[in-house]
Chains A and B, each alone.
Chain A
């Protein structure tokens, strides 16, 4: 096979990506051993790997994982219920939507997570601070996408419903809502991602909770390999969560 044909195979990009990463890790190992990179700032990759096992065993990773998961799940459930409801409300009451939609959009990009000291005061150093921060962060996308989904139903579909003399509630349950569902799920997925990011982030910031707090802990103990290992672990969890939500969304939306 020619070079060009090789690059077009399915396996080549995967191999290139993984290979490059492996090469980078190897290069880091060598550079640190040789002394070009300070080993008190970047630990040896060969030290980080055993730290994985140590962290998992010694730091009660299962319990921490459960706590983070509980916080994220609760916040996720809240944004779904409240977000879709508010989205529906705004869709129905047009004047309210016109008045507040831009506010919600602004809120989505505003640094809401910086209110965490405020939430600390209100809810104390507890899981509820974290859950509420996750809730606030994940809510705007759900509301916006719900509105978008409901409002974006193609005119012709509604006309089909009217031509069959469907009543208002019927029109909603049989046409509007099913048509809006894919977009609503996109919103929920976005919201869940924001929620998870903020849950772990606030855990780190207030030094309470599950995985986020673990990193903080290890960093304050100057356990370098452990800190790096914990960060890698959290990245892994986040990636898995992201992939899972993608799969679920694709399963719910087979036509696309």
Chain B
């Protein structure tokens, strides 16, 4: 019934089909090739300092070296705290692997915990504020206006509170993602179609049933978008903190390459980082999209 009457005409031949590919893909490939050629031209010409624009070969080699990297014993034995009189808490484990993955794992861990802490508290606050008009008008402005501030400036305070270890980086990630998640959850609560709430009440659902069977499903779209955004800013916040003060993590590797003026390595690290970050974002987006299709 929904798809009645679709005419099935053969598609007209488009430019580029002679090469056997869609025109969009052709243009994309052309752009990439052009950029790469342009890059190599600048690298070879010597217009800038030799290493500011390394040749593609140098970058390629560096990427391979980074991915297969010096094999080290990756041992994690870090503590969190003390803060406000609690802790320190110690974690210990060991594995032998190329250097990159050790640091990648460290960053992933920091981002993960930061997203968990910031995300859960953001969700909670968002639910509370979204559900109550008065509370929302009183406190949501704080979130709204504090949101677009550079959270990295809180880093010195985080170091004082949580020490120079992963604690301060996790805190940075948590602060970064708390705001967008709280705000989008609150907004999500408010856009729930009121009639659905009345349906729940008319069938006398209790508070828990209302929350799980009506509120949460009804706002899954804004919540998932908030989490995507939160993931993005948590990654940025954590990594920036790592570049500022750390001896582990991808941020540290980048700044280390900079201080050694190993430009091909720095480019390689940045490329790896971007691929991973964009990949993680796409993954979350896909998960969100999948669940949306299943539940509509």
In-complex Cβ contact of B145 among A12, A197, A228, A239 (8 A): A239
A20 within 8 A of B: yes
In-complex Cβ contact of A215 among B85, B153, B278 (8 A): B153
A242: min CB distance to chain B, Å: 6
C-alpha spacing A216/B152, complex, angstroms: 10
Q: Is the CB of B149 within 8 A of A114?
A: no
B24 within 8 A of A: yes
Which residues of A sit under 8 angstroms from B141, Cβ to Cβ? Answer: 17
A143 within 8 A of B: no
Q: Is the CB of B138 within 8 A of A219?
A: no
Which residues of B sit under 8 angstroms from A13, Cβ to Cβ? Answer: 134, 137-138
Q: Is the CB of A205 within 8 A of B243?
A: yes
Q: Is the CB of B149 within 8 A of A239?
A: yes
B15: min CB distance to chain A, Å: 9
Q: Is the CB of B138 within 8 A of A215?
A: no
Which residues of A sit under 8 angstroms from B65, Cβ to Cβ? Answer: none
A99 within 8 A of B: yes
Interface 9-residue window, one of A55-63, A118-126, A153-161: A118-126
* Chain B: interface residue total (CB-CB under 8 A): 54
Q: In B12-27, which residues have CB < 8 Å from any A CB? A: 23-24, 27
Q: Is the CB of A122 within 8 A of B139?
A: no
Among A100, A116, A196, A197, chain B packs the most CB atoms within 10 A around the CB of A197
**Residue on B nearest A120 in the bound complex, by CB:** B258
As a 0/1 sequence over residues 110 to 142 of chain A, the CB contacts with chain B under 8 angstroms (1 = contact) are 110111111011100000000000000000000
Q: Is the CB of A118 within 8 A of B251?
A: no
C-alpha spacing A222/B120, complex, angstroms: 33
Which residues of A sit under 8 angstroms from B274, Cβ to Cβ? Answer: 110-111
Interface 9-residue window, one of A80-88, A230-238, A247-255: A230-238
C-alpha spacing A164/B156, complex, angstroms: 63
Interface 9-residue window, one of B209-217, B233-241, B288-296: B233-241
Q: Is the CB of A17 within 8 A of B138?
A: yes
B39 within 8 A of A: no
Given A7-B134, A114-B239, A114-B243, answer yes or no on A201-B23 (Cβ-Cβ < 8 Å).
no
Which residues of B sit under 8 angstroms from A113, Cβ to Cβ? Answer: 236, 240
C-alpha spacing A109/B227, complex, angstroms: 13
Which residues of A sit under 8 angstroms from B177, Cβ to Cβ? Answer: none
Q: Is the CB of A205 within 8 A of B24?
A: no
In-complex Cβ contact of A95 among B27, B48, B267 (8 A): B27
A112: min CB distance to chain B, Å: 9
Q: Is the CB of A106 within 8 A of B278?
A: yes
B244 within 8 A of A: yes
Q: Is the CB of A204 within 8 A of B152?
A: yes
C-alpha spacing A27/B35, complex, angstroms: 58
Which residues of A sit under 8 angstroms from B148, Cβ to Cβ? Answer: 193, 196-197, 238, 242
Q: In B216-236, which residues have CB < 8 Å from any A CB? A: 228-229, 232, 235-236
**Residue on A nearest B155 in the bound complex, by CB:** A204
B270 within 8 A of A: yes
As a 0/1 sequence over residues 154 to 195 of chain B, the CB contacts with chain A under 8 angstroms (1 = contact) are 111100110000000000000000000000000000000000
C-alpha spacing A115/B146, complex, angstroms: 25
In-complex Cβ contact of B150 among A20, A42, A120, A198 (8 A): A198
Q: Is the CB of B52 within 8 A of A121?
A: yes
B102 within 8 A of A: no
Which residues of B sit under 8 angstroms from A79, Cβ to Cβ? Answer: none
C-alpha spacing A231/B31, complex, angstroms: 43
B91 within 8 A of A: no
Between A and B, 26 residue pairs with Cβ closer than 8 Å are A16-B138, A17-B137, A21-B142, A42-B161, A99-B28, A109-B228, A109-B278, A109-B281, A110-B232, A111-B239, A113-B240, A114-B236, A114-B243, A114-B251, A114-B273, A117-B254, A117-B255, A118-B267, A121-B263, A204-B152, A204-B155, A205-B240, A212-B150, A235-B149, A238-B148, A243-B145
Given contacts A14-B138, A17-B139, A110-B274, list 17 more A-B pairs with CB under 8 A: A95-B24, A99-B27, A106-B278, A109-B229, A109-B232, A114-B239, A116-B243, A117-B266, A118-B270, A121-B258, A197-B149, A201-B153, A224-B160, A227-B157, A228-B157, A231-B153, A231-B154
